[in-house]
Chains A and B, each alone.
Chain A
Amino acid sequence: MRKRVGIAAVAAAFAVTAAACGGTADTATEAPAEETPAEAPAEEAPAEAPADDIEIGFVTHVVGNPFIQQIIDAALQAGEDLGVTVTVAGPTGGEADAQLAAVENLVAAGVDGIATSVPSSSMDNALNAIIDSGIPVATFNLLSPAVNAPYVGEKSVESGRILGARIVELLGGEQQAKGTVVVGICFPGFPVLENRAKGVQEALAKAPGIKVEGPFDVKVDAAENYSKWEGLYQANPDVAALVGLCAPDVESLGQLKAKNPKAKFIAGGYDLTPGNVAAIANDTAQVSLGQTPFMQGYLPVYMLVQAIRDGVKLEPGFVDAGTEIATSNPLQVIQPYGLPQLTFDELAVIAGDPKKSREFYQPLVDGIIKNWQAEVQPIANESS
């Protein structure tokens, strides 16, 4: 009898918890299809929202990361604009096999299309099998060239070159720059991060007075990331610059600089998360590159809806999401694709508010997103 009660309790716990959490799903189902045209004119919602029942599975390599959340927010905005359901899934730990299981579970649950990042080659076969079965797939943020699907993301090596060149410039230019530059990578082996490292090292190598140390493993967890950077600084107190390749780095480096006000190092890295933006704004870090998360979330959903509704064939190819450059001196955020420059206050608002972000990126929705097929480049350009 007690055993039966126990089993019932397990079942009840699952049912109650599932019911409690299901209602708050990261889906755009709350946006009724008929409201979309009223809220947004046809040109603002390029693929209009007919009364169909499309569900897109949107799978990220990690959840709970501020930068990835910006991508997810944009995907949900796209779902709302286009009148489709976007169901978000992904592992908390960043393991590719768990992510692939989430993709396969969504397919088994009957979604009409899949948007996913591809952190590793072990996902290739299964994703291509899904594509072969007739389910459209679009990829974003992390690329595996063997997947037969379009990819929306940054030009990873090139963005590394941009960051490296900014660091050289901040150190006095190619001829004047000197000292040690320490590079940190939060996940050794991630292809996109390795590409960034390659680009940074290429750019730094142009300054003969610079000696590059690393890349060192600085971990992705925020607390661990800070302690790794602190250790690297203590080991290299005269370091000229500390350069990170992942989202937590700039914020960590800003905290490190704030804790050591006499330190003279330049700090640079990636992503325009609220913490990173704050570090740039108070000049504890000097440069951070964004990869336009709005594009990386919105466009894959847009592509899939076009494929499902209009029969557009999704071929392998690369759409550059664009690189945003935030600098502390001058205090500015240079935007890609002719978007207006932002003040830091505006950027902070956009980074934390999906609706404001949607409004700011309207020109992208009307331009490159609407005409994405004209923007597709060969996959090889991603790492050129």
Chain B
Amino acid sequence: MSTSKAASRRIRMPDELGVFIALLVLIGIIGALQPKFLNINTFLNVMANNSILGMLALGTVFLLAMREIDLSFGMILNLSGVLAGLSMIAGVPVELGILIALVAGLTMGTLNGYLSVQFRLPLIIITLGTASIYQGTSLIVNNKGSVLPPPEVKAHWFFQFMGGLTDFPVPPIVIVFLVLAVVLHFVLHRSRFGYRILAIGSNPDSARLAGINVDGSRIQVAALMGVIAGFGGAMFLGFRGAIDPTTGYQLLLPVIAAAIIGGTPLSGGSGTIIGAVLGTLVVGVIATGVVFLGIDATWSTFVTGVVIVVAVGIDQLVRVQRRNRAAVASAGGQ
């Protein structure tokens, strides 16, 4: 074995390197075509506008790692935010209102998981129905209108801080997103809970034979997604100062795209929180880039789709090549 080969085996490149470089290249191309894009404020703006999407992508990594997809998280976000807002309007302290959002999200997520286990159905099927239930409940409780806390409630530090109305140099929603990412990274890769999820996603039957409570873990992951969506609802309320009947409806595809672009496969057994953060930025940079480049509204959706398909396709090709090479190397070593 040559020295260089030994060195390359020791220095293993992180899986997220590809998407990170792709992000830099995207930024470079847009910046070269439109130099105004290369501005720290633009970058912070991209991050702030996509932080809620990113939070949901972090939760989706856990689901995908266990071969599950939740279609209801946008509605959970909406209903949690609506309940928090309405309770604040009714005079409940803001801190308690945030807690209500978290509990509401936890309840809805747990219900998703429980129904999925009880009916022996994938979460995607159950959440086809519960998404409409949560959406309908939101429309009923908010009386089909926006939930807009009055000025005295919005004078609270939570709204002032999260809404960027203080002199804090970085949009606080970005800090919240990154802190959540760090926490969930350690939960996925450094906790027994995370190991269980990855084991179940890798091979559910083996995991069951190894004594892992598969059903319990499925409920826990669905509940985690619910809590994150509930948290996202509260953060959205603070960030935008109001929540609408339509908030969260269109998040499904960009959120799943962000997780997958980041490198979490649909096949389960692995997942990357860092990748989801980078995937969120890729989605955000593409959306911002089409505006900066003056691509008209009709074409922007097409461009976004093309770039995402190419990014995911190429990433998958690279992974297959790496697997094949590893298999060949392994066979050669025997």
Using a CB–CB cutoff of 8 Å, the interface residues on chain A facing chain B are: 2-3, 6-11, 13-15, 17-18, 21-22, 24-27, 60, 63-64, 72, 87-98, 100-102, 104-106, 108-110, 119-126, 129, 146, 187-191, 194
Contact = CB atoms under 8 A, between A and B. Distances in A.
Contacts of A11: 22, 25-26, 28-29
A189 B245 contact: yes
B29 A122 contact: no
Contacts of B142: 189
Contact of A88 (B17, B240, B250, B297): B297
A22 B146 contact: no
Interface residues of B, number: 67
B289 to A, nearest CB: 7
A15 to B, nearest CB: 5
B314 interface: yes
Given A14-B289, A17-B306, A88-B296, A189 B45 contact: no
Given A7-B18, A101-B49, A121 B307 contact: no
A188 B245 contact: yes
A24 B240 contact: no
B246 A120 contact: yes
B125 interface: no
Contacts of B297: 26, 60, 63, 72, 88-90
Task: Name the residue among A90, A104, A105, A110 with the largest chain B CB count within 10 angstroms.
Answer: A105
B5 interface: no
B21 interface: yes
B294 interface: yes
Contact of A27 (B52, B248, B296, B298): B296
Contact of A189 (B246, B296, B311): B246
Interface stretch (B33-41, B87-95, B176-184, B211-219): B33-41
Contacts of A21: 295-296, 299-300, 302-303
B212 to A, nearest CB: 34
Interface stretch (B58-66, B198-206, B268-276, B315-323): B315-323
Given A13-B306, A17-B307, A22 B242 contact: no
Nearest to B301: A92
B26 A120 contact: no
B334 to A, nearest CB: 25
Contacts of A119: 244, 246
A96 B296 contact: no
A7 B25 contact: yes
A11 B18 CA distance: 12
Nearest to B44: A108
B249 A93 contact: yes
B118 to A, nearest CB: 29
Contacts of B144: 188-189, 194
B288 interface: yes
B195 interface: no
Interface string B101-118: 000000000000000000
